[in-house]
Amino acid sequence: MSAVLQTWCRVGRRCIPTQNSSIMAIRNYSAPSYEYVKVSTAGTNDRVGVVQLNRPKALNALCGPLMVELEAAIRAFDQNPSIGAVVITGSEKAFAAGADIKEMQNRTMSANISESFLGGWEGIAAMKKPLIAAVNGYALGGGCEVAMMCDIIYAGDRAKFGQPEITIGTIPGGGGTQRLTKAIGKSRAMEMNLTGVPISAQEAASWGLVSKVFPAAELVDEAIKTADKIASHSKLIVQMCKDATNAAHELSLAEGLKTEKRIFYATFATDDRKEGMTAFVEKRKPDWTDS
């Protein structure tokens, strides 16, 4: 087994409390106390939420308590009217090196079904506001799947993406066979899922999994810049645009085009559509009310 796959598999059963690390240019944010994630705000008028996975000794392995906190932190930002977009990141060594294997080792099929194991992960993808994954280091297994639940993925130049579940006798369970196939196509997804071999950030970008690649030290700042730009628009219209774009992954082309048209028409019932076009004609910046 390669060193990367050994890293992915070598996680503990319990989440280990760690000291919060800092991210440059990000301000402190008054929020509920979390043990395994760190929350901050950034951007113009603190309109960008930042969630940092904070389990460094286990390379941010996704144990149950961490995932509960991650979903809660993102949901708090999603419900905060001053936040326009959210960045999710980890450390320079790992975005997340996979799910917690020892936590899963003795689970049974019946328990998985009755408890809807991993079902709560989908709450991340259900967020209304745009999510940007800023991936440095390893994004393996569940880490890759969480990144794919986000709307945009930016990667550091030394990032690694992979679905190594096959090497431990199982398959991806958080979207690795589905979202990955939609993102990069059947042949490449099959290769990643059936070999378990990770790909580089550069490969991920050329295959369409990642939007942009940056030097590792610049990654989070670049993700915040994009999130800040998104947050400068009407939050209502951004949400509607996100819904329309997501429809392309879930519907046929014909149904997707109908959905797009319905949402496009619906923007004409909003104050922000009127304000945006009026501001354009009057050659001034729009004053969004998110209504």
165, 223, 231, 247: the catalytic one is 165
* 274-to-237, 239, 267, 285, 291 alpha-carbon distances in Å: 12, 17, 9, 13, 10
Nearest-10 crossing angle of helices 235-250, 271-281: 110
99, 231, 244, 247: the catalytic one is 99
Quick check: is 165 catalytic? yes
61, 145, 231, 244: the catalytic one is 145
* HSE-CB of 211 using CA atoms within 13 angstroms: 15
Q: Using CA atoms of 148, 150, 87, 244 in order, give the dihedral in degrees to the nearest 10.
A: 150
43, 49, 142, 156: the catalytic one is 142
The single-letter code of the amino acid at 67 is M
Quick check: is 142 catalytic? yes
Strand order in the sheet with 199-200: 94-96, 138-140, 160-162, 199-200
Quick check: is 71 catalytic? no
* Cβ-contact 43, 224 below 8 angstroms: yes
Quick check: is 99 catalytic? yes
Q: How far apart are CA 88 and CA 76, in angstroms?
A: 13
Between the two ends of the chain, the Cα-to-Cα distance in Å is: 54
State the catalytic residues.
Answer: 99, 142, 145, 165
